A and B are shown apart, each in its own frame.
Chain A
Amino acid sequence: MAGNHVRAHHRFEDHTGEVRLELGAPSLEELFVEAGRALAELMIGDLAPTAPPGPEQRIQVRAADLAALLVEWLNELIFLSETSKQVFTRFQIERIGPGELEAVVAGVAPQALKTQVKAATFHGLSVENRLGAWRASIVLDV
């Protein structure tokens, strides 16, 4: 499979007001993990505390389709970050389908945030499989 040669990666693209996140990964599970990692990088950058992640937490999200599932996944992480004062840095996707995801996550509690992220949006949203590799594009409101 061509996708097996793609390493999970992300980059933040220019967007005048917000942040456009581009993702790539050999599998859907790794794509969603990479999205979580990118969110953490955006929120704390190199401010990450050296302490190990806190207790694990189980997350379940549902959505109408795969692209909406990426929005829901990031919005769930944003919600939990804000209400538990953590930033999630460790992700294990246990189950993923076109409209459902179950994961176990763990986070750190930074003293400050580099960027406060308001929400993941549907603007310019795409999740697709090209030649066996997964790619996604999503805009975050910051």
Chain B
Amino acid sequence: MYPSPVQVSDNGYEIPKGAVPGMRVPARVIADQELMVQISRDQSLQQLVNVATLPGVWGQAIGMPDMHEGYGFPVGGVAATLMPDGVISPGGIGFDINCGVRLLASRLTRAQVADHLETFVHELSRSIPTGYGRHGRLELSVEELDRVLGEGCPYVIGTLGLGLPEDLECIEASGSLPAADPSKVSLRAKQRGRDQLGTLGGGNHFLEVQEVETIFDAQAAGAFGLFEGQMTVLIHTGSRGLGHQVCTDAVRTMDSSLGRFGIELPDRQLACAPLSSPEGRDYFAAMCAAANFAWSNRQVLAHRARMVAARTLGDCGEPRLELVYDVAHNIAKLEEHEGRRLCVHRKGATRAFGPGNPELPPRYRSVGQPVFVPGSMGTRSFVLAGLAGSEKVSFASCCHGSGRALSRHAAKRRVEGHIVRRELESQGIVVRCPSNAELAEEAPMAYKDVERVVDVVARAGIARKVARLRPWGVLKG
């Protein structure tokens, strides 16, 4: 029998260190009773306990309220390892390195765009390749791809001209991690990524056209440039096949070098190496390059969305789309927390720095970092602002979505795609997704309640609610 988590606060459960042999720190889940019941239905708690056995793991392994079963790490898992010799685990970042979310805000309202909304979504679906086939791709030369990997968004904006200079300060790390080294990215990874910049990808990746439905915090919303009734565009995607291959390469390398480091693991997918080792350093450099690729991918997609807006919404008013923020939710970052240098793994978790953090752009510094929590397809998404207390609770990490509650198979058993499509359309949501099966897999009923998830992180002192967004149009990869 696996140990049951003990409730330690209104929004916290814990499996204490020692409950399972090999645990080096406690495993803590930020959840209320209802979410804890849902979380306990799959293998995610066991996966979180496995994470708590990693060499060098510090403080506690943390599960977010949207946590669900993954591979190695649970999705919605956060773990920090103490530098210099703590490990880095590619499975703690995931195959989709720097999968993340970018929010663009217009100055237009529903009343202004109503007659052009369907055209806007349709043209977006024509201009934004989902990633299969060869339509609409931005093919890069070997040199250009290396510069995207090494320099990220400053190169994409400054040299390729795909964006505005002012975008940079509103991207986590300005869309460029200095530790990136393109020479550590394999030729195979570059082959996979060469024609994928500016593609959405499949699975749960999507682009959504939305309306700001409710403002909860006027001060923060003002700082983020959000107002009620406003049209926004949210982009959710990552590093595509390039990032997948970087992870595949590193898991293979680290799996075969575990014996040399004397590391024993409860799950091979947790393969890891000390960050101070050549294997750890090489992976970190490649992961940072893949992260630069992902930020660049969202930058190119945002550029395309801006072009479509300019083309189709010009008669409605000023069609400009301003970048609110872009933040990763699959990444490892070297950060200082309470005086310690840590490698913070966020696997399906969003960084949530509180007010005053010097990494934030000056205009957000007094309110905290924007955090985006997309709901499932067709449900509300949330904009939050990081709180200072997040550092103590979760190494400044927040949930990244509503979190799956049902497997893809279970969702398809319960609902048919054409019914999901009809229900979304009956709510006035324009849907562009060629596959009914994928619609069923991503149906709202397959996910936890995003409002409940967001309320838990707010009560836990991680982030406060700023705005709620209602979907108008969905474009699925």
Show the binding face of A for B, using Cβ within 8 Å: 12, 14-19, 45, 63-64, 68, 71-72, 75, 78-79, 82-83, 85, 111-116, 118-119, 121-125, 139, 141-142
CB-nearest residue of chain B relative to A67? Answer: B268
Interface check B151, CB cutoff 8 A? no
Q: Which residues of B contact A82 (CB under 8 A)?
A: 192, 241
Contact A112 B244 (CB under 8 A): no
A68 to B91 alpha-carbon distance, docked (Å): 16
A82 to B194 alpha-carbon distance, docked (Å): 11
Contact A16 B407 (CB under 8 A): yes
Contact B434 A112 (CB under 8 A): yes
Q: Which residues of A contact B410 (CB under 8 A)?
A: 14
Binds A, one of B1-9, B70-78, B155-163: B70-78
A14 to B42 alpha-carbon distance, docked (Å): 10
Show the binding face of B for A, using Cβ within 8 Å: 42, 44, 68-72, 75, 91, 94-96, 131-134, 188, 191-192, 201-203, 241, 244-245, 247-248, 251-252, 255-256, 267-269, 271, 404-410, 434-435, 437-438, 477
A118 to B245 alpha-carbon distance, docked (Å): 8
- 13 A–B contacts, CB within 8 A, in A order: A16-B69, A19-B408, A68-B255, A112-B132, A112-B434, A114-B435, A116-B203, A118-B241, A119-B95, A121-B91, A123-B72, A141-B95, A141-B244
Contact A111 B95 (CB under 8 A): no
Known: A63-B252, A141-B95. 16 other contacts (CB 8 A): A15-B407, A16-B44, A18-B71, A64-B255, A68-B255, A71-B252, A72-B252, A112-B133, A114-B437, A116-B131, A119-B95, A122-B251, A122-B271, A124-B267, A125-B268, A141-B96
A43 to B95 alpha-carbon distance, docked (Å): 17
Contact B70 A18 (CB under 8 A): yes
Q: Which residues of A contact B268 (CB under 8 A)?
A: 122-123, 125
Given A112-B133, A119-B244, answer yes or no on A12-B95 (Cβ-Cβ < 8 Å): no
Contact B133 A118 (CB under 8 A): no
5 nearest A-B residue pairs (beta carbon): A116-B202, A123-B71, A122-B268, A123-B269, A14-B407
Mostly helix, strand, loop or mixed at chain A's interface? loop
Q: Which residues of A contact B255 (CB under 8 A)?
A: 64, 68, 122
Contact B267 A122 (CB under 8 A): yes
Q: Which residues of A contact B201 (CB under 8 A)?
A: 116
Q: Which residues of A contact B477 (CB under 8 A)?
A: 116
Q: Which residues of A contact B409 (CB under 8 A)?
A: 12, 14
A92 to B450 alpha-carbon distance, docked (Å): 47
Contact B70 A85 (CB under 8 A): no
A90 to B168 alpha-carbon distance, docked (Å): 47
CB-nearest residue of chain B relative to A12? Answer: B409
Q: Which residues of B contact A139 (CB under 8 A)?
A: 71, 269
Contact A115 B71 (CB under 8 A): no
A118 to B72 alpha-carbon distance, docked (Å): 15
Q: Which residues of A contact B405 (CB under 8 A)?
A: 16
Given A68-B255, A119-B95, A121-B269, answer yes or no on A17-B68 (Cβ-Cβ < 8 Å): yes
A121 to B244 alpha-carbon distance, docked (Å): 11
A11 to B71 alpha-carbon distance, docked (Å): 19
A8 to B202 alpha-carbon distance, docked (Å): 29
A15 to B69 alpha-carbon distance, docked (Å): 7
